Amino acid sequence: MFNLDQIWINAACPKCNYSFEIQIIDARLEKLVYCPNCKCSIQLKDESASVHTSTKNINNAINELNKALNISFK
């Protein structure tokens, strides 16, 4: 079985817009991460539970996760 948790996805810092990579497991576990550029803390949220519900389609999972992350970046 393919391990989605190990996939790296792009995230953008809500403050400085710096683009960096996180692993899906970080979002699934709603970890607190730090922007490598401005050092602000970012609380990851899997608000739509997309990681859990989209495992049938890896591409969907990544797209949905990106949407979830964007929604969380306020």
- Contact residues toward Zn ion (CB under 5 A) are 13, 15-16, 18, 35, 37-38
- DSSP-based three-state secondary structure for 3: coil
Q: Which of 34/60 has CB closer to Zn ion?
A: 34
CA-based nearest residue to 28, from 6, 60, 2, 10: 6
Q: Which of 14/63 has CB closer to Zn ion?
A: 14
Tokens of 54: 């989209």
Q: Which amino acid is at 15?
A: K
CB of 53 to Zn ion, least distance (A): 29
CB of 67 to Zn ion, least distance (A): 20
